[in-house]
Structure 1
Amino acid sequence: MRIAEDYLSLRNVFSEYAEGESFHVSMGDLAEIWYCTPRNAKLIVTKMIELEWIRFVSGRGRGNTSELTLLLPFDQLLLHTAEDLVKQGNVPGAFDWLKTYEGAVEVRTQFLQWLTGYFGYSSENRNGDRTMETLRLPIYREIVTLDPASAMFSLDTHIISQICSRLVEYEPETGVIRPGVAHHWETNEDGTEWTFFLHKGFWFHNGREVTAEEVKSSLLRLREPSCSHRWLANDISRIDIDGRYKVKITLCKPNRRFLWFMSHTAASIVLGENSCDLKAKYVPVGSGPYHIVEFHSGKCVLEVFPSYHGQRGMMDRIEIIIVPANEAEACFGTSPGVLSVVTGEFQVPSTAMPQQETMTGVLMLTLNMKKEGWLRDWPLRKAIVHSIDRIRMIEELPEPWGYPVKGFSLKHEMDPKDLLYRPNEARLALSNSGYDGQPLRLLTYGRHATAAAWLKQQYEAIGIRIEVNILPWSEMMEPSTIAQADLLLFEAVLSEGPLRLLEYFLSEGSFLRSSLSNEICEKIDNRTFAMLADPEVVAEEKWLQETEEELHRASACVFLTSKSVTTLYDSTLQNVKVNPKGWVDFSSIWYKPKK
């Protein structure tokens, strides 16, 4: 982009000359314009000649001026530079670039037309007879990490599921466990010993075979103190290897649902790094249907893995472009093969494109009982729980809200009532609390900013002061951030089944557990361990019911409304499957041209 800025500097200084009109200039003049040495000015001139932006005829002899001709129109350079920034994965930079020069020329409209057409399906011939099919997606949130052992957000875990494999796979819709890296498994009577038999010829993306050694090292990563998901491996007492394709895992307590744990994204089998304390831009070497070929803050590119053990992905290349939430609506388009997953960043416009709405979770507010302060006071927590009119919230906020919820359930009631809204009870509890008006700090990310502002207004109407802080996704996950918050507003994703609930209750890095008192955590742990050891299916429902009752008795969190994800796609895209994470399975999509 620097070379473009240098050209625009020339265009501004010599604005009296039209494109194609020659004028005289010295190398010293150019060095002064570009704030560089004459030697560097010569390098810049050479680059612009190569790009065919200028024509330059050097003056002969010392002291003679040269002849310069500007060839590229101002608006064309602005537009092409913005386009190049998008292709590099720097969408915010493209918008900032145009804003810098908007006073000189209006090219934003042209840019938006190009941008909306940039997303979607494209194909190109490679090596003569091979076609590379690409699907380019706008995503309206950042990718925080692709390290399986650290990932907490749905987008991150979705991408990890596309590039990594696990011992087994769990289907939330049916509750069925299917083979993954392991083709068979056995357990003893009480669920303390689990033996897995691995597929032969299951390959990592770098060509190495997946063996028992990599399974062991991947699971041992989860036991490190810095790992967000060490709860998955806390009860593993030893891992024994018997040859290349057999692994025996011994637990220190019974867990008849250990296969759930082994299907978790964090239990993905990866090659290489043993440390859980990795940089945010770590890219795992996995064995999934796609592998990462490019990854930085604005762009993630996946290409199909031809040696994948399962069915090959139909789309050869997936380009994920991160779009700022404030520009999301402007980037929405209807070009051929376009696919867009909207999770509340903007109101879905009216369109004839096919849509799928998937109920994914519940919006909830945690109350930090670990932190010294007013939230250790039960009457104040009770007032916070019962003072919100959830039906009114749904009516007033223009987002994909569903219905009021009172717990961790996505079952839709025909005539949903807000059973938790008890304004008189809330006022009485507040008056009994002794609360002195000290502001409570509410943290959330941009996706829930509108809801946070609405909640602030409602709470302050009854006398509870709220200070809202909107943070980046990555910062929200910092333990120090969570510890200092009074309230955390987030969506608990429930569509992935009981395993995600276990994560919220057992993971030290989860927003929910990190806010609960040690006493409540101990009760939940004991109840959970009993459920995991119980062979009866009915134990799962009883566990959830009793855990919800525990949270309600303590007024430990605020259940608000159900949340959904809207997936819009062009009719040329076939077999678009929205998974329980609320994202699209890349490997199943294929393109069917219109007749």
Structure 2
Amino acid sequence: MKLQQQFLLLHSRFGSADPVSTTLDEIAKLLDCTPRNAANIVRSMSRNGWIAWESSRGRGRRSTLSFLAQAEDIAAQAMLQAINRKDVARAIGQIKIHRHSAALQEHLQGRLLSYFGHHAETSKDRQIDTLRIPIRQPLHTIDPLYMNLLAESFVASHVFDGLVRRSDSGDDIKPGIAHAWDTDESRTMWTFYLRKEVLFHHGKVLNSDDVVYTFERLIRSPRRTLYSFIYKQIKSVRALNPTVVRFELEEPNELFLPFLCTSRAAIVPKDLNQLGSYRFGTEPVGTGPFKVAQMNEAVCVMEAFGPCFQGRAHLDRVEIVHVPWAAEAMTGEAGGAGEGDVAADRVSPFHVIPNAASGSSGWSRIHSETTVRKFVTCNTQKAGPLTEPALREHLFESLVGTGGGAGDPGEAEKAEKALASAQLPPAVSGQVPVRLRIATILPYRDDAETLAGELGRFGYDCEVSAVSPEEFKGAIRLESDLILFSLLRDQDEELRLYDLYRTMAEHVDAHTRIDIEQLLSRTLREPRPEIRLRSLNKIESLLIRERHLHILSEKPLPTAYLPTVRGVTFNSQGWVNLRTLWFPPVMAGE
């Protein structure tokens, strides 16, 4: 590996189709070694057939160096050696080193891409199916209490199970760990009946005490997490016997059951504290179809859990690898994925999964119905220019047609008119510039900078503050004028909208806040999903009408390209469900 790196350093310094003149002293300086070591390195490269070296003896005389091997081949060789040792992090490092050469980087990325996808081995007349998936987000934790990223939720959804789950279509709620449930007339008392003999990955049988521990852990946590408005309304959770659990809510909440379908409500073992809370994030124990065999910032390896109560997964092993560059750079695909507690759209959630055996001819094209909505909101609780309705009107008019093409085809023409005629309203026309602070999460820094640039054309001087998803939950939103974020519109849309509007109510004027809170209260008490969604849509219309909300864009999650594969379904967030995937066995003679 070191010799290959030394060759690439020489090639980057002297690379040419023609022989070059140099000395061992110059090579030693470049490689940061002694002239004696430089001579040994040159001899090794010559024996490998990588270079030709014509030595000239005598003080001050120069030798001739000719390159016989291509840099791309040597770099790819080093990468393949790293891949064969399962050292994908080092292989990715090869690409980072050669970012200066677009052609070399593209060549190396193509080699690395062959590592991903479906790989089958035969052992003792049995096919072992491994699926390797690249993701852009690093995985920090998949503890349901602490995870922040959608990629972490994706992994958690295969390691853990909830009391109930969404159907594949998302229209119904199906049994999970609980095989049945009921509620009283007040709809504040919910009783769940657990399956018997459900096993955790470490061999312990799940019982009602584990369910009680899971939700008491959520309730006690001081963390402000997604959907905390649901579990903070749990008045009590009790184990009536080993297979029966009863929840008492402070008030009727029709989003309680949908919440139990999310990864946040996944059941963890009561002995988690003995396992170690911090360690649990990378060495989790659940009841799902896959158990984590290895997890660090570079890779997460999951293996099929045979005793899973839902049935064994068809795949034997899944390797999820952190690939830090944008997916479009590696695959040619533009588009997004999930980051943050709500959403982001940087990288495809399943990326491109090539079939290493058959190449692109075997690919099929599928997609989920999930979309990502990107938006900006105004904080009128902060004393400043946005408390003036006329200025908000002007600001949002300035943004018509920006943000990636939300709206109908006439938006572009409308935008041109707005750009030509827009002027600061009279109330602030004497103030130049109008200073605004835009808050967002780190993955959206570029979007916020673009937004600041657009507004700069109309007299707004914008400062961008981009922070981590965890920091974004804090005071920064109420300290800013504009907030740029996104919403994943998936099967959990009701929960996400409710959580979003509860948050937005904190930074709108008092009159609008009262209207929002009344509609949210009505939503919680409405048993019919279509009526709940109608109330949530009224809040959206109200926020747009009062110029508190401007939708920048709404795009479907990028299409996923997969090899010919069976059992393709999507989870609630639009990610491919690994539980059901399978690959036809390779037949003898094929």
Task: Give the structure-2-normalised TM-score.
Answer: 0.73
CA gap of 1:451–1:430, structure 2 versus 1, over 3 A, is farther
2:373–2:489: 8 Å Cα contact kept in structure 1? Answer: yes
Partner Cα separation in structure 1 for residue 559 and residue 319 of structure 2: 17
Return the match for 1:209 from 205, 209, 215.
205
1:190–1:255: 8 Å Cα contact kept in structure 2? Answer: no
Alignment partner of 2:113: what SS? helix
1:366–1:515: 8 Å Cα contact kept in structure 2? Answer: no
CA gap of 1:279–1:466, structure 2 versus 1, over 3 A, is farther
Spell out, residue by residue over 1:228-255, the C-alpha distance to the aligned partner (whole angstroms, 9 max, x if none).
1421212111112111111111111122
Letter in 2 for 1:147: D
Spell out, residue by residue over 1:416-467, the C-alpha distance to the aligned partner (whole angstroms, 9 max, x if none).
8689979499946644246542443334457656644543333222222333
Task: Name 2:257's counterpart in structure 1.
Answer: 259
Return the match for 2:108 from 106, 111, 125.
111
Spell out, residue by residue over 1:319-355, the C-alpha distance to the aligned partner (whole angstroms, 9 max, x if none).
12222234x3342289xxxxx9795559x99x87432
Alignment partner of 1:222: what SS? helix
Task: Name 2:390's counterpart in structure 1.
Answer: 379
Task: Name 1:432's counterpart in structure 2.
Answer: 427
Partner Cα separation in structure 2 for residue 445 and residue 325 of structure 1: 18
Task: Name 2:375's counterpart in structure 1.
Answer: 364
Partner Cα separation in structure 2 for residue 10 and residue 546 of structure 1: 65
1:590 CA drift (Å): 1.5
1:218–1:274: 8 Å Cα contact kept in structure 2? Answer: no
CA gap of 1:318–1:370, structure 2 versus 1, over 3 A, is farther
2:567–2:581: 8 Å Cα contact kept in structure 1? Answer: yes
Task: Name 1:491's counterpart in structure 2.
Answer: 486
Task: Name 2:120's counterpart in structure 1.
Answer: 123
Letter in 2 for 1:530: R
2:520 matches 1:528: yes
Task: Name 1:243's counterpart in structure 2.
Answer: 241
Alignment partner of 1:133: what SS? strand
Alignment partner of 2:111: what SS? helix
Spell out, residue by residue over 1:160-196, the C-alpha distance to the aligned partner (whole angstroms, 9 max, x if none).
2121111111348453111111111111112111111
2:131–2:319: 8 Å Cα contact kept in structure 1? Answer: yes
Higher deviation after alignment, 141-150 or 284-293: 141-150
CA gap of 1:174–1:294, structure 2 versus 1, over 3 A, is closer
1:386 CA drift (Å): 2.8
CA gap of 1:135–1:12, structure 2 versus 1, over 3 A, is closer
Partner Cα separation in structure 1 for residue 75 and residue 419 of structure 2: 60
Alignment partner of 1:354: what SS? strand
Alignment partner of 1:157: what SS? helix
1:221–1:274: 8 Å Cα contact kept in structure 2? Answer: no
Return the match for 2:539 from 537, 543, 547.
547
2:424–2:459: 8 Å Cα contact kept in structure 1? Answer: no
Partner Cα separation in structure 2 for residue 280 and residue 488 of structure 1: 34
Spell out, residue by residue over 1:297-320, the C-alpha distance to the aligned partner (whole angstroms, 9 max, x if none).
232222221111113221111112
Task: Name 2:52's counterpart in structure 1.
Answer: none
Spell out, residue by residue over 1:44-91, the C-alpha distance to the aligned partner (whole angstroms, 9 max, x if none).
xxxx9xxx9xxxxxxxxxxxxxxxxxxxx9967754544466643426
CA gap of 1:576–1:195, structure 2 versus 1, over 3 A, is same
Task: Name 1:581's counterpart in structure 2.
Answer: 573
2:364 matches 1:354: yes
2:178 matches 1:178: no
2:180–2:192: 8 Å Cα contact kept in structure 1? Answer: yes
Partner Cα separation in structure 2 for residue 221 and residue 305 of structure 1: 26
Letter in 1 for 2:393: K
Task: Name 1:68's counterpart in structure 2.
Answer: none
2:304 matches 1:304: yes
Show the 5 A alignment for 1:189-338. 189-223=185-219, 224-228=221-225, 229-271=227-269, 272-273=271-272, 281-326=281-326, 328-332=327-331
Higher deviation after alignment, 239-248 or 455-464: 455-464
1:513 CA drift (Å): 5.8
Show the 5 A alignment for 1:63-102. 78-83=75-80, 87-90=86-89, 92-98=92-98
Return the match for 2:437 from 438, 441, 460.
441
Alignment partner of 2:557: what SS? strand
1:393 CA drift (Å): 5.0
Letter in 1 for 2:161: S
Alignment partner of 1:531: what SS? helix
Letter in 2 for 1:440: L
Task: Name 2:23's counterpart in structure 1.
Answer: none
1:203 CA drift (Å): 1.4
2:444–2:485: 8 Å Cα contact kept in structure 1? Answer: yes
Show the 5 A alignment for 1:562-581. 562-581=554-573
Higher deviation after alignment, 175-184 or 221-230: 221-230
Show the 5 A alignment for 1:13-32. none
CA gap of 1:357–1:5, structure 2 versus 1, over 3 A, is same
Higher deviation after alignment, 545-554 or 191-200: 545-554
Q: Unpaired runs of 5+ in structure 2?
A: 14-27, 38-43, 49-68, 339-344, 353-359
Identical-pair percentage: 23
Show the 5 A alignment for 1:474-485. 474=469, 477=472, 479-485=474-480
1:79–1:107: 8 Å Cα contact kept in structure 2? Answer: no
Partner Cα separation in structure 1 for residue 553 and residue 88 of structure 2: 34
CA gap of 1:436–1:305, structure 2 versus 1, over 3 A, is farther
Task: Name 1:558's counterpart in structure 2.
Answer: 550
CA gap of 1:5–1:474, structure 2 versus 1, over 3 A, is farther
Partner Cα separation in structure 2 for residue 85 and residue 477 of structure 1: 38
1:94 CA drift (Å): 2.8
Higher deviation after alignment, 238-247 or 365-374: 365-374
1:481 CA drift (Å): 4.7
2:519–2:536: 8 Å Cα contact kept in structure 1? Answer: no
1:475–1:481: 8 Å Cα contact kept in structure 2? Answer: no
Partner Cα separation in structure 2 for residue 77 and residue 263 of structure 1: 50
Return the match for 1:502 from 498, 501, 522.
498
2:372–2:557: 8 Å Cα contact kept in structure 1? Answer: no
CA root-mean-square deviation: 4.4
1:237–1:250: 8 Å Cα contact kept in structure 2? Answer: yes
Task: Name 2:58's counterpart in structure 1.
Answer: none
Task: Name 1:151's counterpart in structure 2.
Answer: 147
Partner Cα separation in structure 1 for residue 507 and residue 290 of structure 2: 37
1:226 CA drift (Å): 1.6
2:377–2:484: 8 Å Cα contact kept in structure 1? Answer: yes
CA gap of 1:270–1:99, structure 2 versus 1, over 3 A, is same
CA gap of 1:263–1:234, structure 2 versus 1, over 3 A, is same
1:82–1:98: 8 Å Cα contact kept in structure 2? Answer: no
Letter in 1 for 2:366: Q
1:134 CA drift (Å): 0.9
CA gap of 1:562–1:420, structure 2 versus 1, over 3 A, is farther
Task: Give the structure-1-normalised TM-score.
Answer: 0.73
1:304–1:316: 8 Å Cα contact kept in structure 2? Answer: yes
Count of matched residue positions in the alignment of Structure 1 and Structure 2 = 514
